[in-house]
């Protein structure tokens, strides 16, 4: 069984809001001193893939990322968690890719370097854009079925897979034949494992297969940007304090209620 997990490097979502800034020229967040980490739901996807490999008794887990040299760190995080190998797509001069460019590059790399694959895992959405598009696009490009909001996958009968997915009413189990794309969401059953120190050290000694984006068979129209960010800014917060006045508690409460009604909060 070959399981591919696509992971993205993002700014640490736990960073202090005071350290978060946006470059008005590029309309992109400024990295600054904030650490770069693996996207939260992608890390959970790695955990779900590892649990499936354990349940199957054997298999290979490959981590795949599109990003510059710094993205090696999220791939090493996946290998420290016990992924077997890692592939990074070097974007070169691509800049900040949109969802179409990212999905096209990942799909091409999966075809060229990681096929055949039984399951291609994604986090349900990226930790920076919250887009939730790339996994679905890769499924469309590869011509594969997709199961969304999975919380776990286990082997079924006849070589099929049983995917537990979160729904509005609870959890449903979907039986699906491989190959398939699965997007993963969080649940108490799939909390990412904490790598052991020896595994972290071993991950830094493992090689990472690097493929240049121009060498991949990406259609020319998918190499161009399909999205334009019109604006991106940090909302200004307006803090005001107003004291309710009155000769008694009842009068101050009445004044407070009128003020709330005037603000249309209730």
Q: Give the tens place of pLDDT for each residue, 43-67.
A: 999 999 999 999 999 999 999 999 9
Q: Does residue 33 surpass a pLDDT of 80? A: no
Structure tokens at 208: 């990472």
Q: What percent of the chain is predicted at pLDDT more than 70?
A: 100
Cβ distance 246 to 252 under 8 Å?
yes
The torsion defined by the Cα of 127, 38, 46 and 93, in degrees rounded to 10, comes to 90
pLDDT of residue 230: 86
Q: Average pLDDT for residues 60-89, to the nearest whole number?
A: 97
Backbone φ and ψ for 238, nearest 5 degrees, come out as -110, 115
**Residues 198, 200, 204, CA angle at the centre, nearest 5°?**
115
What is the SS3 assignment for 38? strand
**Residues 186, 191, 194, CA angle at the centre, nearest 5°?**
145
Q: Does residue 242 surpass a pLDDT of 90? A: no
Element (H, E) at 260: helix 249-262
Backbone φ and ψ for 120, nearest 5 degrees, come out as -110, 115
Residue 212 CB neighbour total at 10 angstroms: 10
pLDDT of residue 92: 84
- Write the Ramachandran bin of 259: left for phi over 0, alpha for psi from -120 to 50, otherwise beta: alpha
Strand stretches in the chain, DSSP E = 2-6, 9-11, 22-23, 28-29, 36-38, 60-66, 85-90, 119-123, 146-155, 161-167, 170-176, 180-184, 209-212
Q: Over the chain, what is the mean pLDDT?
A: 92
Q: Give pLDDT tens digits for 146-180.
A: 999 999 999 999 999 999 999 999 999 999 999 99
pLDDT of residue 188: 95
Q: How confident is residue 77, by pLDDT bands cut at 50, 70 and 90?
A: very high
pLDDT of residue 71: 95
pLDDT of residue 264: 81
Cβ distance 130 to 154 under 8 Å?
no
Cβ distance 136 to 183 under 8 Å?
yes
pLDDT of residue 72: 96
What residues contact residue 214 under an 8 Å CB cut-off, 6+ apart? 92
Q: How confident is residue 19, by pLDDT bands cut at 50, 70 and 90?
A: confident
Q: Does residue 234 surpass a pLDDT of 90? A: no
Q: How confident is residue 5, by pLDDT bands cut at 50, 70 and 90?
A: very high
Q: Give pLDDT tens digits for 132-148.
A: 999 999 999 999 999 99
pLDDT of residue 37: 94
How far is it, in rounded angstroms, from Cα 22 to Cα 70? Answer: 20
pLDDT of residue 17: 77
Q: What percent of the chain is predicted at pLDDT more than 90?
A: 73
């Amino acid at each position: 069984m070959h399981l591919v997990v696509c992971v993205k490097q993002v700014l640490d979502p736990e960073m202090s809001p005071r350290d978060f800034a946006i470059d008005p020229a590029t309309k992109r967040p400024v990295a600054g001193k904030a650490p770069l980490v693996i996207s939260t739901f992608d890390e959970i996807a790695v955990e779900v893939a590892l649990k499936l490999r354990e349940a199957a008794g054997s298999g290979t887990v490959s981590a795949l990322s599109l990003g510059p040299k710094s993205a090696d760190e999220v791939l090493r995080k996946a290998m420290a968690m016990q992924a077997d190998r890692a592939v990074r797509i070097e974007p070169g001069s691509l800049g900040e890719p949109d969802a179409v460019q990212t999905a096209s590059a990942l799909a091409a790399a999966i075809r060229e370097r990681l096929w055949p694959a039984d399951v291609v895992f994604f986090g349900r959405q990226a930790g920076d854009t919250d887009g939730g598009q790339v996994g679905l696009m890769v499924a469309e490009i590869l011509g594969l079925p997709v199961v969304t909001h999975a919380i776990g996958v286990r082997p079924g009968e006849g070589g099929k897979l049983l995917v537990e997915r979160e729904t509005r009413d609870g959890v449903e189990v979907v039986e699906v034949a491989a190959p398939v794309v699965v997007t993963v969401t969080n649940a108490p059953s799939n909390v990412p494992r904490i790598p052991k120190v020896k595994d972290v050290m071993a991950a830094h000694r493992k090689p990472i297969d690097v493929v240049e984006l121009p060498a991949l068979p990406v259609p020319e129209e998918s190499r161009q940007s399909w999205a334009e960010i019109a604006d991106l800014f940090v909302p200004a917060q307006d803090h005001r304090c107003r004291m309710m006045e009155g000769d008694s508690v009842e009068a101050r409460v009445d004044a407070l209620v009128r003020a709330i009604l005037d603000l249309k909060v209730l």
